[in-house]
Structure 1
Amino acid sequence: MLRRLLITDFVLVDRLELDFRPGFGALTGETGAGKSILLDALSLLLGERADAGVVRAGREKADLAAEFDLAADSPARPWLLAQDFNADEELLVRRVVDSGGRSRAYINGMPATATQLRELGEFIADIHGQHAHQALLRADAQRGLLDSHAGITALAREVSGLWKELANARRARAEAAEQQAGLQREQDMLGFQVKELDELAFAANEWEPLNQEHARLTHAASLIEGVSSSLEAITDGEMPLAGETERLAAKLSELAQYDASLRDIAELLNEAAIRLDEAGHALNRYRDRVELDPARLVEVEQRISAIVSASRKYRVPPEELSELLLQSRTRLESLTALADPAALAEREKQCEAAFRKQAGVLSEKRASAARLLSEQVTAAMQDLAMAGGRFEVALIPEPEGSATGLEKIEFQVAANPSQPLKPLSRVASGGELSRIGLSIQVITSASQAVPTLIFDEVDAGIGGRVAEMVGRRLGELGQARQVLCVTHLPQVAAQADWQWRVAKDNHDGVTLSRLDVLDDAGRIEEIARMLGGVNITETTRSHAAELLGLGR
C-alpha cells in the first residue's frame, strides 16, 4: 500500500509531504483547488508521460517520490528481481521532471525507464480517472476489463498471437495460388543457379591461395633462374659470398688482438656469413620444390576462369560466391514450400487447430467471468436507484474468429424492468453511465490483487441516496484495500475512514495549493461546506455531523 508521498515544485504545490493510512480516504475541496494534483503526481510516478507544464512556474524541476509497502506475496517483488532492482519490504519510486520537459525515473534508488514505472504500477496501484466511465463505451475497453477481471489477459494475448500465425498461413497459401507461375519461374532460375554454384564448389578461402599459385606457376621459369643465380653468388660460385664473408670475419678476428674495436665488426661479418649460408640452404630447398608444370598452370587458369565467369554472371565479387549459394539455397527451399499446396494447406490447418483450441478455452473462461460480473453489477444497480435494471456481459459469437477470439464482448444494460437489454453505449444516460461504471470499477477492482485503488471524481453525475450507497461500496472496498477517492459529494466523503481537504492560498501574489489533514471537527466543517456552500449554519453542521455518524 501507499505509505508516503513527497511533492516538490509540482504544478501549484511548492512542497508537500503526506503520510497515507489504510482504509478508505477522501480528498475534498473547492472546485479548482487542485484536488486532482495528488493523483496527477501519482500517475506521473507510475509512468504517465511527463511534460514541462508540471513544473511550478519559475522553478527548474519538479521532484516527486512515493513510498509503498510490499506484502511478502506481492507480485511486484518477482518483477523487481527480474528487472535487477532491490525487492525489499519498502518500495521507493521517484520521478524528476525538469523545466525542459525531460524526466528521470528511479526505482529503489536505481535509474529506471517510464515503461518500467508503468509495468511496476500495474502491481501496486490502480487509478480510475474522471473519464473512466466514457472509456467503458469502447468495445476494446469492455473486452480488456472482462479479461483482466477474469485473469485471462495472458491467454488473450496468446490467442491473438495464434490468430496472427493463422492469418500468415492463410496469406501464404493465397499468395502461392495467385503467384504460382511467377514462383515457378523463380524456382527454376534458382534451381539452375544453385546447381551451377554447387558444381563450381567454390569456397571463400580458396580465392587468395589460388591466385598466389597461379602467379607462382606463371613465373616458374623466372623464379628458377633467379634462385639459381642467387645460389651461384652465395654458395656455388668461384668466390661465393658466404665463403668470402667468413674469410673476412676470420681475418678481422686475428687483427682484433691489436685493436679490440675490430672485434665487434668481425662478429657482424661472422653473423652475416651464417645468414648467407642459411639463405643458400633455403634457396636450395626452394629450387628443388619449384618446377615447370604447364599442366597444373592450365588447370589453375581454368579454375580461375570458371570462378571469374560465375562472379561476372551473378554480379558479385568472387569472395561472395559461397554466400550467394547459401542465400539462393535458402530462398529455393522457401519457394519449394510455397509451391507445395498440400504443405501450405497442412500448415494452415495446424495453425487453425491451435488457434481454435486456445480460443475455445478463452471463450469458456470469458463466459464464466461474464455470468458472474453480470450478476454482480445487476445486484449493485438495485442499490443505485436503478431497481429492476439489468446488466449483462454479452458474448456475441464470431464463428470465423478474429485476433480477439471467437466472440465480441458487449456490455448491455436495461435501466428499467420494462426495457430490453441494449448496448451500454446506446441506452445509458450520463447519470446511469456514472452509476453503472462505478459499480463495474468497484467490483472488478475488488477482484484484483492491486493493494491501492484511486478514484478521481468517478462519482460525478450522482447524488442523494445513490451517493450514500456509492460511499458505502467504497468503504466496503476499503476494508480489504487502501482506497483514495477525490470526491465532491458529502455523502461519499462521510463514509471515509479519513479525510484531507485541498485549498488554495495566495502568498505574495503566488497561488499555491495547500492540503489539510482533517480531524473530526475539521471533517464536520468540510462536509458542512460541501452540503451548504458559502453560508454554513449550525443546522448544516448538525447535518454534517449526522452524516459522519452514519458513515461510521
Structure 2
Amino acid sequence: MLQELSIENFAIIEKLTTSFESGMTVLTGETGAGKSIIIDAVGLLTGGRGSVDFIRQGTPKCWLEGQFEVNQTPELSELLESLAIENPDNVLIVSREITTAGKNTCRVNGRLVNTTQLREIGRFLVDIQGQNEHQALLQSDQHLGMLDQFGGKELLIIKTKYQELFASYQTLLRQVRNKQANEKEFAQRMDMLTFQSAEIAEADLKVGEEDSLIEERQRLNNFHQIVSALNTTYSALSDGEPSALDSIGSAMSEMSEIENLDSEYSELSETVKSSYYQLQEAANQASRLVDSLEVDEDRINQVESRLDVIRQMKRKYGESEEAILAYWESIDLELKEGAQANLSGEELTQALAEKEAELRLVAEELSVIRRQVATRLESEILEELAGLYLEKALFEVRFTEVADFTVDGLETVEFYLTTNPGEPLKPLVKVASGGELSRILLALKAIFVKTQHITSIVFDEVDTGVSGRVAQGIANKIYQVSAGSQVLCISHLPQVAAMADCHLYISKEVVAGRTKTGLTQLSKEERVMEIARMLAGEEITELTKEHAKELLSLAHK
C-alpha cells in the first residue's frame, strides 16, 4: 500500500506531504484544486512518462517521493534482486526528480534506476484506473492476458510449459530455415567460429593479467635503476663511520637524557626516536629488497611475448580481457546451437516435426483449460455486473483459432457483451457506453484484485456518467475491491465518498497571485458538510445535511 506521499513544486502544488491508510480512501474537492495532479504524481513514481511541463512555474525542478509497503511475491523479489535493491522490511521508498534542464532522476531505496526499471517495479505497487484507463478493455489483444491472469496458477503452469516449448520450436524453425536458405554460408560461419573459439581458448586469458604483466615489465626493464637506488639508500643510512643511523642514534641518546626536564624536550625526543626507528626499518627493507632482486632476461622475453598475445586477442575480439571472454562465451553458445543445426536436413526436419507435435498437444491442453476458466470468468463477471445494476447483461468470452503457433497459443480471445435484453452479443468495444465501461471495469477489478498482488489501486473518476442507484452500486463495488487492496478514489459522487474509510479534501487558494493546493483529512462533521456540498452544490440546507448524514449512516451499516 501507499503509506506516504511527498510532493514539491509539481504543477500547481508547491509543497504537500500526506499519509494514506489501508482500505478505501476518497479524495474530493473543488474543480481545479489538484485532485488528478496527485494521481499524476503517483503515476510518475510508478514509471509514468515525465515532462518538464510538470514543474511548477518559476522553479528549477519538481520532486516526488512515495513510501510503499509491498507484497513480497517471488516475481517482485527476483526483479529487486536483479537491480540490487534491498527491502528487508518489505518497504520501498521511491523518489523522482525532474529539472527544467530535462534531467530525470529516479531512485528506489536509494539506488538509481531508469524509468523502464521503475515502470517494471511500479507494476507491483499501484494500478491507476483513470477515466480513459478502461481503454484496455477496448483492445481485444489485451483480453487473452486478462483471461490467463484470472486462470491463476493452474493455467500459468501449462502456459509456461507451452511457452518454453514454443521457444525451442522457434529455435529449431530458424535453424531449418537458415539451413535451407544458405547451407554453405552456415558451414563457413561455423568453421570461423570454431577457429576463433580455439584461438581464444589457447590464449587462456585471465581478467587483469595485462595490467599485472605491464607492472612486471616495468620492474624488469628498470632493474639496474632499482638496484642502484636501493643500494644508495642502504649505504646512505647504514655505511660510514659513523653512519647516518649511528648519528641519529647518538642524538636519540642525548635527547633521552633531558626529555624529563621539559615537555618540549620530551616532544623533540619522541620525534627523534620515531625517526630513528623508521629509518632503521627503511634500511632493513632496502637490504631485503636488494637481496630478493634477480635479473632474468628470459622472464623479460616471456612477459613481452605474453603481452603480444594479449594485444593480438584485443585487436581481433575485444577491447579488454572481459570483452574477449564475453565474446568467447557468445560464440560457444552459437556453436552449441549450430551443433544441432549441423544435423542433416532430414534429421533436422524430423526434429522440428517432433517438436511441433509436442507443442500442439500442450497448446490443445492450454486451450481446454482456458475454456474452463472462461466459463468461470463469465459466471463471476455476470454476478459482479448484477451488483452494479446490469443484471440483464450477457457476457461471453469468445475464442478464435489461429493457423500458426503464437507465443500465447493457438487462439485469440475477445470479450463480447450485450446490456440490452433481446440484442445480440457484440464485441465489447462496439456496445458499451462510458458508464457501462466503468461498471465492467469495476467488475473485472473486483475479480482480478485477488490474483494481481498489487498493493494499491487508484480509481480516477471512473464513476463518471452514472448516478442514482448505479452510483451506489459502484460505491459498494469500489469498497469491495478495497477489502483486497488499498484503494484511492477520486470521485464527484456523494455515494462513493460516503463509503470511504478515510476522506481527504483537496482545496486551493490564491496567495500572492499564485494558486496553492492543500490537503486535509476530514473529521466526521466535516465529512457531513463535504458530502452535503457534493449533493447540493453551493447552497447547503439542513435537509441536505440530513441527507448526507443518512448516506454516511447507510454506508456505515
| TM-score, structure 1 normalization | 0.68
Query: Alpha carbons of 1:385 and 1:190: their partners in 2 closer, same or farther (altered >3 Å)?
Result: closer
- Give, as a single letter, the amino acid of the residue that structure 2 aligns with 1:369: V
In the alignment, what sits opposite 2:535? 531
In the alignment, what sits opposite 1:58? 58
1:44-68 C-alpha deviation (Å, 9 max, x unpaired): 1111121111111111111111112
Whole-Å separation in 2 of the counterparts to 1:534 and 1:386: 33
- The question of 1:351 aligning with 2:351 is answered no
In the alignment, what sits opposite 2:125? 124
In the alignment, what sits opposite 1:142? 143
1:419-471 C-alpha deviation (Å, 9 max, x unpaired): 33221112222322222122112321233222222111122222211111111
In the alignment, what sits opposite 1:489? 493
- Give, as a single letter, the amino acid of the residue that structure 2 aligns with 1:147: D
Query: Alpha carbons of 1:368 and 1:521: their partners in 2 closer, same or farther (altered >3 Å)?
Result: same
In the alignment, what sits opposite 2:416? 412
Whole-Å separation in 2 of the counterparts to 1:486 and 1:190: 61
Show the 5 A alignment for 1:233-244. Answer: none
Show the 5 A alignment for 1:280-291. Answer: none
The answer as to whether partners of 2:149 and 2:451 remain within 8 angstroms in 1 is no
Which of 334, 340, 346 matches 1:342? Answer: 346
Whole-Å separation in 1 of the counterparts to 2:103 and 2:162: 38
- The question of 1:502 aligning with 2:506 is answered yes
Query: Alpha carbons of 1:108 and 1:155: their partners in 2 closer, same or farther (altered >3 Å)?
Result: farther
Unaligned runs of 5+ in 2: 203-330
- The question of 1:3 aligning with 2:3 is answered yes
Query: Alpha carbons of 1:50 and 1:354: their partners in 2 closer, same or farther (altered >3 Å)?
Result: farther
Whole-Å separation in 1 of the counterparts to 2:510 and 2:156: 48
The answer as to whether partners of 2:141 and 2:414 remain within 8 angstroms in 1 is no
Show the 5 A alignment for 1:155-170. Answer: 159=162, 162-163=165-166, 166-167=169-170, 169-170=172-173
Offset at residue 74 of structure 1 (A)? 8.0
The answer as to whether partners of 1:46 and 1:117 remain within 8 angstroms in 2 is yes
Which of 466, 471, 476 matches 1:472? Answer: 476
In the alignment, what sits opposite 1:15? 15
Whole-Å separation in 2 of the counterparts to 1:29 and 1:353: 61
In the alignment, what sits opposite 1:222? none
In the alignment, what sits opposite 1:454? 458
Where 1:91 maps in the other structure, the secondary structure is: strand
In the alignment, what sits opposite 2:109? 108
Unaligned runs of 5+ in 1: 206-326
Whole-Å separation in 1 of the counterparts to 2:530 and 2:381: 32
In the alignment, what sits opposite 2:521? 517
Whole-Å separation in 1 of the counterparts to 2:394 and 2:540: 40
Show the 5 A alignment for 1:31-430. Answer: 31-70=31-70, 76-77=76-77, 79-89=79-89, 90-151=91-152, 159=162, 162-163=165-166, 166-167=169-170, 169-170=172-173, 173=176, 183=183, 340-398=344-402, 400-430=404-434
The answer as to whether partners of 2:61 and 2:100 remain within 8 angstroms in 1 is yes
- Give, as a single letter, the amino acid of the residue that structure 2 aligns with 1:55: I
How many residues align? The count is 420
The answer as to whether partners of 2:44 and 2:50 remain within 8 angstroms in 1 is yes
1:387-439 C-alpha deviation (Å, 9 max, x unpaired): 22121222223354323211111101121332332211122223222221221
Whole-Å separation in 2 of the counterparts to 1:10 and 1:382: 41
The answer as to whether partners of 1:161 and 1:403 remain within 8 angstroms in 2 is no
Whole-Å separation in 1 of the counterparts to 2:188 and 2:177: 22
Query: Alpha carbons of 1:382 and 1:189: their partners in 2 closer, same or farther (altered >3 Å)?
Result: closer
Offset at residue 526 of structure 1 (A)? 1.5
Query: Alpha carbons of 1:81 and 1:345: their partners in 2 closer, same or farther (altered >3 Å)?
Result: closer
Whole-Å separation in 2 of the counterparts to 1:13 and 1:398: 51
Query: Alpha carbons of 1:506 and 1:87: their partners in 2 closer, same or farther (altered >3 Å)?
Result: same
Offset at residue 472 of structure 1 (A)? 0.8
- The question of 1:445 aligning with 2:445 is answered no
In the alignment, what sits opposite 1:267? none
In the alignment, what sits opposite 2:438? 434
The answer as to whether partners of 1:5 and 1:18 remain within 8 angstroms in 2 is yes
- Give, as a single letter, the amino acid of the residue that structure 2 aligns with 1:409: V
In the alignment, what sits opposite 2:287? none
The answer as to whether partners of 1:384 and 1:435 remain within 8 angstroms in 2 is yes
Where 2:464 maps in the other structure, the secondary structure is: coil
Whole-Å separation in 2 of the counterparts to 1:190 and 1:56: 58
Offset at residue 541 of structure 1 (A)? 1.8
Offset at residue 14 of structure 1 (A)? 0.8
- The question of 1:29 aligning with 2:33 is answered no
Offset at residue 130 of structure 1 (A)? 2.2
Offset at residue 84 of structure 1 (A)? 2.0
The answer as to whether partners of 1:133 and 1:438 remain within 8 angstroms in 2 is no
- The question of 1:546 aligning with 2:512 is answered no
The answer as to whether partners of 2:442 and 2:478 remain within 8 angstroms in 1 is no
Whole-Å separation in 2 of the counterparts to 1:138 and 1:187: 42
Whole-Å separation in 1 of the counterparts to 2:187 and 2:77: 58
Task: Tell me which structure has the larger Cα radius of gyration.
Answer: 1
Q: What is the RMSD computed on CA atoms of the aligned residues?
A: 3.5
The answer as to whether partners of 1:144 and 1:153 remain within 8 angstroms in 2 is no
Whole-Å separation in 1 of the counterparts to 2:94 and 2:403: 46
Offset at residue 100 of structure 1 (A)? 2.1
1:232-255 C-alpha deviation (Å, 9 max, x unpaired): xxxxxxxxxxxxxxxxxxxxxxxx
Whole-Å separation in 1 of the counterparts to 2:499 and 2:2: 20
Where 1:133 maps in the other structure, the secondary structure is: helix
- Give, as a single letter, the amino acid of the residue that structure 2 aligns with 1:424: L
The answer as to whether partners of 2:446 and 2:480 remain within 8 angstroms in 1 is no
- Give, as a single letter, the amino acid of the residue that structure 1 aligns with 2:47: G
Query: Alpha carbons of 1:40 and 1:187: their partners in 2 closer, same or farther (altered >3 Å)?
Result: closer
